[in-house]
């Protein structure tokens, strides 16, 4: 089969032939129809993601660990949990027998690749406990996942949505998607502290954080009170690290601020079916809007290097 093949950590996948996957007991081979290249996939290839050791243990390997495929009987499914060195950027993928979920008839495979990012936005509710009318801050709202999260927040009934990003033009686009207030993080630390405080109103109920690093460190500084008291809780859901994998967390930022930290996966195990069905319904009805950049598998080397997507999801079609 043809595949996008990575030969070294931090390299660029190349289009070439690779041995066909052979199913073991409890596995099935699917025909790949579409694969989204996400930030996590790039981080794994770069060797910087915490799961990279597992996927890069054997080189050469095929990147990306989920996608949309076709079963031998023709049914369209979303699949994941692939066995290295076989990833999704190939004509065929080997999938656990319980590692796929049906996609409705007539649903475009490339469009279906975005559902996973939308489910991450559902972490505002599944992990953060978002209730209708509450205020949401979305850190890193100008990327694909962030733009979806803004829309998910509105569809979940958020009362007010604050969104951050570095590019003013992209922030304007996010405002058109439903953000009530936008904050540029491309300012000095003191200006950013002031912006967070000015936009919080009576407090951020839920923060969905795709950034981490400097912006979140400054946000925690902005949320740190200057007096004793019992402050309104802020449920901060950690979902990404596009601004950096670490931050300096002062004890005072948690002691009386009301900030509660958790990961995006909290609560998802028991509600994944519900979350999936909801985002699928929104996508089918057109309530979730997103832009795709479709490229052929044979063009993966040039596509992998692209930096001009600006909120469009790169989707590879074998």
Q: Looking at per-residue confidence, does 76 or 225 come out higher?
A: 76
Percent of the chain with pLDDT over 70: 99
pTM of this structure: 0.88
Q: What is the pLDDT of residues 35-56, one digit of tens each?
A: 999 888 999 999 998 889 999 9
pLDDT computed for residue 230 by the predictor: 59
Confidence (pLDDT) at 312: 87
**CA 206 from centroid of its chain's CA atoms:** 17
Which position has the higher pLDDT, 256 or 209? Answer: 209
Do 264 and 127 contact (CB within 8 A), yes or no?
Answer: yes
Kindly report the CA angle at 291 between 34 and 103, in degrees rounded to 5? 40
> 77-86: buried (b, 16+ CB within 10 Å) or exposed (e) per residue?
bbbbebbebb
pLDDT tens per residue across span 215-252: 999 999 999 987 765 578 999 999 999 899 899 888 88
Q: What is the pLDDT of residue 229?
A: 59
Is residue 240 within 8 Å of residue 210, measured between CB atoms?
yes
Structure confidence by residue, pLDDT tens digits, 251-263? 888 887 889 999 9
Spatial neighbors of 3 by CB under 8 A, at least 6 apart, are: 15, 16, 17, 18, 62, 89, 90, 91, 297
- For the residues 276-303, what does the mean pLDDT come to? 91
Closest listed residue to residue 179, CA positions, set 159, 197, 201, 198: 159
């Amino acid at each position: 089969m043809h595949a996008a093949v990575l030969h070294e950590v931090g390299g660029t996948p190349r289009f070439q032939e690779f041995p066909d996957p052979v199913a073991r007991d409890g596995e099935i081979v699917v025909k790949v129809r579409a694969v989204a290249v996400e930030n996590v996939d790039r981080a794994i290839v770069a060797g910087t993601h915490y799961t990279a050791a597992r996927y890069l243990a054997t080189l050469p390997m095929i990147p990306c660990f989920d996608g949309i495929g076709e079963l031998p009987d023709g049914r369209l499914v979303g699949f994941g949990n692939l066995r290295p060195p076989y990833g999704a950027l190939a004509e065929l993928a080997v999938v656990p027998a319980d590692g796929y979920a049906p996609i409705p008839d007539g649903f475009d495979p490339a469009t279906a690749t975005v559902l996973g990012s939308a489910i991450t936005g559902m972490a505002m509710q599944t992990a953060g406990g978002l209730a209708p009318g509450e205020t949401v801050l979305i850190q890193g709202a100008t990327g694909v996942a962030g733009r979806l999260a803004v829309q998910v927040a509105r569809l979940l009934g958020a009362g007010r949505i604050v969104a951050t990003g570095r590019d003013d033009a992209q922030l304007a686009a996010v405002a058109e998607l439903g953000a009530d207030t936008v904050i540029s993080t491309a300012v000095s630390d003191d200006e950013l502290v002031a912006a967070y405080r000015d936009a919080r109103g009576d407090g951020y109920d839920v923060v969905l954080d795709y950034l981490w690093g400097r912006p979140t460190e400054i946000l925690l500084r902005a949320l740190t009170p200057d007096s004793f008291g019992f402050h309104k809780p802020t449920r901060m859901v950690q979902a990404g690290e596009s601004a950096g994998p670490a931050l300096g967390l002062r004890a005072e930022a948690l002691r009386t601020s009301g900030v509660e930290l958790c990961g995006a996966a909290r609560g998802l195990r028991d509600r994944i079916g519900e979350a999936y069905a909801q985002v699928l319904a929104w996508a089918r009805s057109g309530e979730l809007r997103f832009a795709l950049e479709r490229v052929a598998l044979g063009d993966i080397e040039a596509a992998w290097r692209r930096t001009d997507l600006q909120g469009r999801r790169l989707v590879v079609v074998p």
